[in-house]
């Protein structure tokens, strides 16, 4: 059955989407999924809508940004502009993180040949392959524990007897499951269940790949938006002094996070509109901070010498 699955041309055995943004959550997802297609599909669906749950934090910043714009009549201060930029950056991070998680989950489930095969066999045998894997892991754990206790001279007769019973029972369970799996594979119903799984996987995999590809491209745009906002923020003084350029306020008010490409264009325009003298003020403030830090260190050295 596994050989049939691997050689099947009914589904697209496509390569993973060429991206590995962040794989740190896979171990958690793996334990949740446990190579069951029902759980895998449910997790992908939940992850797709996870962005809605993250709106609270973004909305709080949005309110702060709106308040900053309402208070401004014609010009915007450096402090208020930074509030708005922080709002855009936070929303970009939310989109990047959610899209990244979905893409990596797709890569680890549908674009992983070994996991697809395991899912197929587990579905055909009605979960027995998953039970067999768990039993083998348990057997390995019992044997390892017995060996560890023996090496440390902490293996009591009662504990040894208990572990031996567990080892024997698990070995019998493994043999029973292996016989059942072999029996199911040779029955006509196995082919019917396999065909059903294949049709379901084909549809599920196609839908997930379309979404993952879209989210991958979207993540790239939001990463660029984040980069531009960070560059803009680095060019602005965090002061209550107004930036003498009315076009900046108009451009900020036109930014919509739902249109990241247009948002990037407006951020670049704002960056080019920041007056040179305003940037110089920031450089002056930075230089003053450096001087203050050097003076502080000099005073500390003098105190130590005394």
Residue 70, pLDDT score = 54
Determine contact, residues 127/180, Cβ cutoff 8 Å: no
**Cα–Cα distance, 133 to 110 (Å, whole number):** 20
**Cα–Cα distance, 20 to 18 (Å, whole number):** 7
| pTM for this entry | 0.67
Determine contact, residues 23/186, Cβ cutoff 8 Å: no
- Domain positions in the chain: 2-274
Residue 294, pLDDT score = 78
Q: How confident is the prediction along the chain (306 residues), in pLDDT tens digits per residue?
A: 344 444 444 444 454 444 343 556 566 666 656 667 787 787 777 777 665 655 555 555 456 556 655 555 567 888 888 888 988 998 898 888 888 888 888 888 888 888 888 888 999 999 999 899 999 999 999 999 999 999 999 999 999 999 999 999 999 999 999 999 999 988 998 999 999 988 988 888 889 899 989 999 999 999 999 999 998 888 886 667 777 778 888 888 888 888 999 999 999 999 888 876 566 555 555 666 677 777 777 777 777 666
Reference 174, options 149, 122, 203, 137; nearest CA is 137
Distance of CA 36 to the CA centre of its chain: 20
Q: Residue 216 has which token pair?
A: 């991958």
């Amino acid at each position: 059955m596994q050989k049939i699955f691997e050689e099947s041309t009914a589904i697209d055995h496509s390569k993973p989407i060429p991206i590995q943004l962040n794989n740190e959550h896979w171990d958690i997802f793996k334990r949740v999924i446990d190579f069951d297609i029902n759980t895998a599909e449910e997790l992908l669906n939940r992850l797709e809508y996870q962005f809605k749950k993250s709106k609270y934090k973004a909305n709080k910043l949005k309110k702060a940004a709106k308040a900053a714009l309402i208070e401004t009549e014609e010009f915007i201060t450096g402090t208020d502009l930074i509030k708005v930029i922080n709002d855009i950056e936070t929303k970009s991070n939310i989109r990047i993180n959610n899209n990244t998680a979905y893409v990596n989950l797709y890569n680890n489930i549908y674009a992983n040949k070994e996991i697809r095969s395991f899912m197929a066999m587990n579905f055909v045998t009605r979960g027995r392959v998953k039970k067999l894997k768990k039993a083998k892991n348990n057997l390995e754990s019992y044997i390892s524990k017995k060996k560890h206790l023996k090496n440390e001279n902490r293996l009591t007769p009662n504990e040894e007897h208990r572990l031996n019973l567990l080892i024997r029972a698990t070995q019998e369970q493994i043999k029973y499951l292996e016989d059942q799996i072999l029996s199911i594979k040779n029955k006509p119903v196995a082919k019917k269940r396999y065909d059903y799984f294949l049709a379901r996987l084909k549809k599920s995999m196609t839908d997930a790949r379309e979404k993952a590809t879209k989210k991958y491209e979207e993540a790239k745009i939001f990463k660029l938006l984040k980069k531009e906002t960070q560059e803009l923020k680095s060019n602005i003084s965090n002061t209550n002094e107004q930036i003498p350029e009315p076009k900046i306020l108009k451009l900020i008010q036109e930014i919509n996070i739902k249109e990241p490409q247009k948002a990037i264009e407006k951020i670049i325009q704002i960056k080019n509109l920041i007056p040179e003298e305003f940037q110089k003020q920031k450089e002056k403030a930075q230089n003053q901070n450096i001087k203050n830090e050097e003076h502080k260190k000099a005073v500390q050295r003098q105190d130590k010498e005394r």
